[in-house]
Structure 1
Amino acid sequence: MAVEIREVTTPKERKTFIALPGKIHRGHSGWVPTLYADDKTFFNPDKNPAFSENDTALFLAYKNGDAVGRIMLIVPKEFNASNDLQTARFSYLETYNDSEVFDALLKKAEEWANEKGCKSLIGPMGFSDKEPQGFLTAGFGENAMPVTNHSFEYMAKMLQERGFRPHVELYERFDFRCRTKVQSAHV
């Protein structure tokens, strides 16, 4: 069945965009949902000034009439200008383990970036480094840390299969239990 990509333009579509990760991650141990009230404000162009300071678009992927994927696209105008770049970012990419949907969302991201005059596409990376970014590449059995992505293993794999490479590796936790010897003394 063909995948249809639609831009989010209405409050109802924005609600679908916000709720979709909860459906995709249903039963995903370790995943912690974001706060709906925060997302409702964050993804609202009328309430989040980052939308007016950047070229931004939200897209949903549909298959058989059901929302099955999402992506946010950003041209960070000030960052690009101050660093002499022509880069677009993608963020908040979520899909089921379906390469057809994944490919359709990335194709839309590439087309949109080209329309905006960008020469490169990076992500997952949002408006700033203060947002969850990247995909989990290890520690899939661990519980999620607050304000971080806890993606499925297939997400990073599908991205790398399409030619994307890690720009930086971030660590959300270190386990020092195996590295330190605890000594105690009674005084």
Structure 2
Amino acid sequence: MTVTVTPVKGRTDTTAFIRLPYTIYRDDPLWVAPLEREQRAFLDPRRNPFHAVGTVRLFLARRGGTVIGRIAAIVDPRYQERHDPKCGQFGLFECTDDTEAATALFTAAADWLGHQGLTRILGPLSFSTNHECGVLVDGFDRPPTMLMPHNPAYYPQLFTDCGFTKAKDLLSWRVPMPADGEPPALVRRAAERALSAPEVRIRPMNRRRFDTDMAAIRDIYNDAWSQNYASVPMTDQEFAHTIRQMKPMLRPELVQIAEVHGEPAAFTLVLPDANQALRAARGRLTTYGLPIGLIRIHQATRRIDRVRAIATGIKKEHRARGLAAALLTQAQRTAFRLGYTETELSWILEDNRDANRSTKALGGIHFRTHRLYERTS
């Protein structure tokens, strides 16, 4: 039967878009189902502030009336201004092992972007590098951590068959917790050198100054990532929205802020791996009106033993101070004290030699790779 691709219109199509992954991953024991209500909010222009700055068009692929694929085509003026005025993005790609369906989806997205004057396509991004991005190409043997994509092993071949080539690899590292919670001597000495400067101090986030500390982290983040590959600045509304989503799992002790002369200069954001609890909910907080998912999450939260270092940012003028070593040392000591047994640092650009070298010195083991793909449409 012929594959047809149509734009998503109305609630029925949106529901089909959101629920397709349950078909794709029904035999995958590692997949973690996202909460359906969060997926609806993410796609809703009234609730996701990305839609105030970017434009998204969703598509569904069907064969004989059955939904077999989905994709989002994305126009982000910030990306075009900062990186490439002729490049659009795609994301939220899911598809059965069907090259014809994948080709039809990518063609629909590229055609729509072409009507916006864009001739190159990059992704997957959901909907920018400030959110989930990349296709898993290596490391299929472990469940994904929070806010990291997971996909079937056949996806990379679908991308290649559809004319995409590698744009950039994103590396994930895991650091088993040492028996004493202390980083290797090399990292510890670097941290001590950084903290020996009297104007430098490391402190945890202050719960009573939550909004102030989060505003400082946002400013550092936008400064630190301003020249990174494919990055776009986060608006105040986007950052606030992201933090609201993270807040239920946030432990202030794990969020470390470096100050220089009393002013925030760097941070590391470490969160317990919510996916370890989220798996128990199976995508729903309630079933037939009963809070079954909520109860499952609450019970599973007690068993979380892994944290993810989502971001470490340093203002440009302070990058020579060795603040990253000091921040990660303190974060690891805190995670050890709180009983966590492993830290994941993800993701790091493959050509960010300093960050990858530092992570390896911390005891990191490269165990997973995600890939961004590009194509001239």
TM-score > 0.5, shorter chain as reference: yes
- The equivalences for 1:75-86 within 5 A come to 75-86=75-86
Q: Secondary structure at the match of 1:137?
A: strand
Q: Say if 2:25 and 2:31, in contact at 8 Å, map to a contact too.
A: yes
Equivalent position of 2:20 in the other structure: 20
- The answer to whether structure 1 residue 148 and structure 2 residue 155 are counterparts is no
Q: Say if 2:69 and 2:94, in contact at 8 Å, map to a contact too.
A: yes
What's the Cα RMSD here?
Answer: 1.9
Structure 1 residues not aligned, in runs of 5+: none
Cα offsets for 1:102-140 (capped at 9, x unmatched)? 111011111111111002001111322122111111111
Matched pairs, number: 180
Task: Tell me by how many angstroms 1:49 deviates.
Answer: 2.6
Q: Secondary structure at the match of 1:167?
A: strand
Equivalent position of 2:122 in the other structure: 122
Letter in 2 for 1:154: Y
Q: Say if 1:4 and 1:63, in contact at 8 Å, map to a contact too.
A: yes
Distance in 2 between the 1:62 and 1:143 partners? 29
Q: Say if 2:58 and 2:71, in contact at 8 Å, map to a contact too.
A: yes
Distance in 2 between the 1:144 and 1:153 partners? 14
Task: Tell me by how many angstroms 1:51 deviates.
Answer: 2.1
Select the structure that is richer in strand. Answer: 2
Q: Secondary structure at the match of 2:168?
A: coil
Equivalent position of 2:62 in the other structure: 62
Q: Say if 1:110 and 1:121, in contact at 8 Å, map to a contact too.
A: yes
Letter in 1 for 2:86: Q
Distance in 2 between the 1:142 and 1:16 partners? 28
Which moves more between the two structures, 80-89 or 118-127? 80-89
Equivalent position of 2:100 in the other structure: 100
Cα offsets for 1:2-39 (capped at 9, x unmatched)? 01111012022111111111121111121111111111
Task: Tell me by how many angstroms 1:175 deviates.
Answer: 5.9
Q: Secondary structure at the match of 2:172?
A: coil
Using CA pairs under 8 Å that are at least 6 residues apart, name the structure with larger relative contact order, 1 or 2.
2
Task: Tell me by how many angstroms 1:66 deviates.
Answer: 1.0
Equivalent position of 1:162 in the other structure: 162
Letter in 2 for 1:129: T
- The equivalences for 1:5-44 within 5 A come to 5-44=5-44
Could you list the structure 1 runs, at least 4 aligned residues long, displaced by more than 4 angstroms after superposition: none
Indicate how the Cα distance of structure 1 residues 84 and 149 shifts in structure 2: closer, same or farther if over 3 A, else same: closer
Which moves more between the two structures, 163-172 or 91-100? 163-172
Q: Say if 1:145 and 1:172, in contact at 8 Å, map to a contact too.
A: no
Q: Secondary structure at the match of 2:132?
A: coil
Structure 2 residues not aligned, in runs of 5+: 181-377
Letter in 1 for 2:167: H
Task: Tell me by how many angstroms 1:143 deviates.
Answer: 1.4
Q: State which structure, 1 or 2, has the greater radius of gyration over its C-alpha atoms.
A: 2
Distance in 2 between the 1:163 and 1:3 partners? 19
Cα offsets for 1:65-100 (capped at 9, x unmatched)? 011100011011122123352211110100111111
Distance in 2 between the 1:26 and 1:84 partners? 38
Distance in 2 between the 1:96 and 1:48 partners? 28
Percent of aligned pairs with the same residue? 27
Scaled by the length of structure 2, what TM-score is found?
0.45
Letter in 2 for 1:144: P
Q: Say if 1:89 and 1:126, in contact at 8 Å, map to a contact too.
A: no
Distance in 1 between the 2:61 and 2:25 partners? 16
Scaled by the length of structure 1, what TM-score is found?
0.88
Q: Say if 1:61 and 1:105, in contact at 8 Å, map to a contact too.
A: yes
Q: Say if 1:24 and 1:95, in contact at 8 Å, map to a contact too.
A: yes
Q: Say if 2:102 and 2:162, in contact at 8 Å, map to a contact too.
A: no
Which moves more between the two structures, 81-90 or 146-155? 81-90
- The answer to whether structure 1 residue 52 and structure 2 residue 59 are counterparts is no
Q: Secondary structure at the match of 1:80?
A: helix
Q: Secondary structure at the match of 1:60?
A: strand
Q: Secondary structure at the match of 2:164?
A: coil
Task: Tell me by how many angstroms 1:163 deviates.
Answer: 2.7
